[in-house]
Amino acid sequence: MDDTAEKGPALQMTSLLCTLHDHRDDVNWCAFSAKLLATCSGDKTLRIYNTSDFSELSFSPLSGHGYSVHCCCFSPCGQFLASCSTDATTVVWSMVTGEIEAVMEHPGRSPVRICALSPDSIHMVSGASDGTLALWDFPSKQLRRTGAVNDTTMVACSFSPCSQVFMSGSTYGDLRLWDLNMNQLHAEKNAHDLGVTCCTFAPSILSGGQVVQFRLASCGQDSLLKIWAINKFSSGAYKMQLLHTLTGQSAPVLSCAYSSDGQLLVSGSVDKTVAVYDAKNAVLLYTLKQHERYVTACSFSPTSPLIATGSMDKTVNIWRLEDGCSGHGGKSLPGESALTSGEGRNSAGRLKLLVTDWSEEDVSEWLVEEGLERLVDKFRANNIDGTELLSLTKETLASELLIESVGLRNKLLRKVEELKSESACSGIPDEFLCPITRELMKEPVIAADGYSYEREAIESWINTKNRSSPMTNLPLLTTLLTPNHTLKMAIGRWKTSH
């Protein structure tokens, strides 16, 4: 096998599928749609490949920028590709013809370093080297608003899965959360020492009680990859909390991306490696060493178990994650443990068979979901994880955790007893059942609400003109369904072991 992953068992899990050698300069970015891969380069071009066999499309390469192309991103439907460049423009291309649909000149004519499209296809944001941000109406390609952070260069941007807010990152090292009116909702200064290089929202929304939570990954010149929780409270206030700091790479981390189900996180580094993590448990799964220079770009396919990585060695590597292989260092694959994406992040949908594997953060989320948020700080201070949670008694709650309220102690113990009874259940894990049919899923897909369903069931639901979520009753922003490969693999392994 071509890759040189460090962990022995990981060699069975991932393989180098092919290497693309078409660019004549550094590869700066790569992006997948459902059927295509786009790459862009310092050679001023973009190249478009069919992901079925990675043959180049007839209209590729795309030539229209005057200078280096820094970033590219597909519209959610895959019909359009946006790219931005040192030439101070963001260009929108048709993926049907390869023709230019629009050229959007950045205010101030400063080099554009980053561009990002909202999941609902309504907005696009572009960030420039003078610290300015431009928010565009994507259907009309008209400028809506501008914002700026002085004395810095915008190099990172990502929309939340709800499309209502976006995060920016700069060479100053700060992460800033903005709404669609370009109001700053939160500023996390010094998020990365020496500068942010990339940031990306996880695709799902976690909710419970009075809090809606997003996950964000960011990386920087400090050689770190960080995972953040961004909580939106019913008051409209936002709070950003660092959950994990990942140190799997030894030099500045230049790019990061989540898988379409939020289970995996990939990053590329100046140390020439690609790191793949279990995003929930913050565990390094694979370290891939195939590039000869800095790894500048990485992306997951939304429809296949594929990763693309781009480098200053002018190549793009395509990696395949293999199904149904052995473990790695005793850790279960994402999908075997409690899934972290928006699917079923409530007491009914959490995988109860593995409460003992819950982290302290899982326990905190469970407390919020059960209306026990006032206990979160006390539990964190005492490092209560899943195992500790199940062992709590009236005596320990009163004497060690100093919970004075008898009613609160009793409520907590009732909830713990429910967890224990469900943990003892030997039936099918609830995570593997379609919320509509309550049957074991064969082709799980993720809908716009972040939940996973049997494809046939959710398609039938949508075709009855019911465009609301079966789980939340809120409108589905799109009918696009994304295969949940990780969940399908987990179900396959569970079936094999039973």
Q: Same structural domain for residues 361 and 447? A: no
17 falls in which pLDDT band (50, 70, 90)?
very high
Model pTM above 0.85: no
Place of tokens 């949670």: 389
pLDDT at 155 over 60: yes
Question: Which has the closest alpha carbon to 254: 239, 235, 238, 274?
Answer: 274
Rounded distance between C-alpha atoms, residue 143 and residue 106, angstroms: 9
Position 294 in a domain: yes
Domain-terminating residue out of 269, 301, 321: 321
Q: Quick one: pLDDT band at residue 355, thresholds 50, 70, 90? A: low
Picking from 406, 425, 444, the residue at the C-terminal end of a domain is: 425
Pair 398, 454 in one domain? no
| 192-215 mean pLDDT | 88
Same domain, 124 and 226: yes
Amino acid 325: pLDDT: 35
Contact between 308 and 37 under an 8 Å Cβ cutoff? The reply is: yes
pLDDT in tens, 472-483: 767 887 888 888
The candidate with the shortest Cα–Cα distance to 341, out of 497, 185, 169, 161, is: 161
> Residue 209: is its pLDDT beyond 70?
no
Q: How far is CA 451 from CA 278, 279, 344, 345, 411, in A?
A: 19, 17, 6, 9, 28
Residues 381 and 238 in one domain: no
488 vs 484: CA distance, rounded Å? 6
What does the pLDDT read at residue 356? 60
Per-residue exposure over 39-69, b if at least 16 CB sit within 10 Å of its own CB, e if not? bbbbbbbbbbbebeebeebeebbbebbeebb
| Residues of the chain above pLDDT 70, percent | 87
Length of the chain: 498
Please determine, for residue 291, whether its predicted confidence score (pLDDT) is greater than 60: yes
Joined tokens for residue 4: 């040189």
Among 70, 69, 28, 74, CA closest to 49: 74
pLDDT mean over 198-216? 87
- Better pLDDT: 399 or 256: 256
Mean pLDDT for 463-477 is 75
Convert 105-127 to b/e letters by CB count within 10 Å (16 or more is b). Answer: ebbeebbbbbbbbbbbbebbbbb
Judged by DSSP in three states, 415 sits in: helix
Domain annotation covers residue 247: yes
Do the domain assignments include residue 82? yes
Same domain assignment for residues 22 and 114: yes
Same domain, 369 and 403: yes
Residue 313 CB contacts under 8 Å (≥ 6 apart), including other chains:
291, 292, 293
For residue 239, the domain's CATH number is: 2.130.10.10
Domain-embedded: residue 327: no
**Average pLDDT value over all residues in the chain:** 84
Same domain for 73 and 127, yes or no, is yes
> Is residue 341 domain-resident?
no
CATH for 436: 3.30.40.10
Instruction: Please state the rounded mean pLDDT for residues 322-344.
Output: 34
- Tokens, residue 362: 């899982």
The H-or-E segment that residue 335 falls in is: none
Domain span at 245: 14-321
Exposed / middle / buried, residue 245 (Cβ in 10 Å: 0-12, 13-18, 19+): exposed
Three-state helix/strand/coil letters over 130-149: CCEEEEEECCCCEEEEEEEC
Q: Summarize the confidence of residues 414-443 as an average pLDDT.
A: 72
Flag whether 331 is in a domain: no
**How many contiguous H segments (helices) and E segments (strands) does the chain have?**
7, 33
376, part of any domain: yes
CA-CA-CA-CA torsion sign (467, 471, 477, 482) = negative
Q: Give the domain-ending residue among 375, 405, 425.
A: 425
Q: How many domains is the chain built from?
A: 3
346-370 burial, b if ≥16 CB within 10 A, otherwise e? ebebbbbbbbebbbbbbbbbbbbbb
- Compute how many other C-beta atoms are within 10 angstroms of the C-beta atom of residue 227: 22
- Beta strands of 270-384 (E only): which ranges? 274-278, 283-288, 295-300, 306-311, 316-321
| CB-neighbour burial class of residue 321 (10 A; exposed 0-12, middle 13-18, buried 19+) | buried
Burial status of residue 397 (CB atoms within 10 A of its CB: 0-12, 13-18, 19 or more): buried
Greater confidence (319 vs 401) lies with 319
Name residue 214's beta-bridge partners: 230
Q: Is residue 348 part of a domain?
A: no
Tell me, yes or no, whether 236 and 363 share the same domain.
no
Are 49 and 162 part of one and the same domain?
yes
Q: What is the pLDDT of residue 461?
A: 83
From 9-18, 75-84, 102-111, 435-444, the region with the lowest mean pLDDT: 9-18
Say whether both 364 and 238 belong to one domain: no
421 pLDDT tier (thresholds 50, 70, 90): low
In this structure, what CATH number is given to the domain that contains residue 407? 1.10.150.50
Closest by CA position to 413, among listed 429, 426, 401, 425 = 401
Backbone torsion region of residue 126, taken as left when φ is above 0, otherwise alpha when ψ lies between -120 and 50, otherwise beta: beta
Per-residue pLDDT at 464:
73
Instruction: Please check the confidence at residue 423 and state whether its pLDDT lies above 70.
Output: no
Q: Write the Ramachandran bin of 263: left for phi over 0, alpha for psi from -120 to 50, otherwise beta.
A: alpha
Task: Check whether 349 has a pLDDT greater than 90.
Answer: no
Do 467 and 441 fall within a single domain? yes
Query: Left if phi > 0, otherwise alpha if psi is -120 to 50, otherwise beta: which for 73?
Result: beta
What pLDDT is recorded for position 465?
A: 61
Q: 8 or 81: which carries more pLDDT confidence?
A: 81
Task: Give the span between the Cα atoms of 117 and 292, in whole angstroms.
Answer: 31
Predicted confidence at residue 432, as pLDDT, reads 82
Place of tokens 């922003």: 477
In this predicted structure, the answer to whether residue 181 has a pLDDT above a threshold of 50 is yes
Confidence check: pLDDT of 20 > 90: yes
At residue 315 the predicted structure's pLDDT band, cuts being 50, 70 and 90, is: very high
> Does 10 score more than 90 pLDDT?
no
Examine the pLDDT at 426 and tell me if it is beyond 50.
Answer: no
pLDDT digits (tens, 9 = 90+) for 128-152: 999 999 999 999 999 999 999 988 8
Same domain, 50 and 116: yes
Which pLDDT value is given to residue 399? Answer: 81
- Answer yes or no: is pLDDT of 351 > 50: no
- Give the pLDDT confidence of 76-119 residue by residue, as tens digits: 889 999 999 999 999 999 999 999 999 999 998 889 999 999 99
Instruction: Give the per-residue pLDDT at 342.
Output: 32
**pLDDT tens, position by position, 36-47:** 999 999 999 999
**In this predicted structure, which of 183-192, 218-227, 414-423 has the lowest mean pLDDT?**
414-423
pLDDT of residue 323: 54
pLDDT at 164: 92
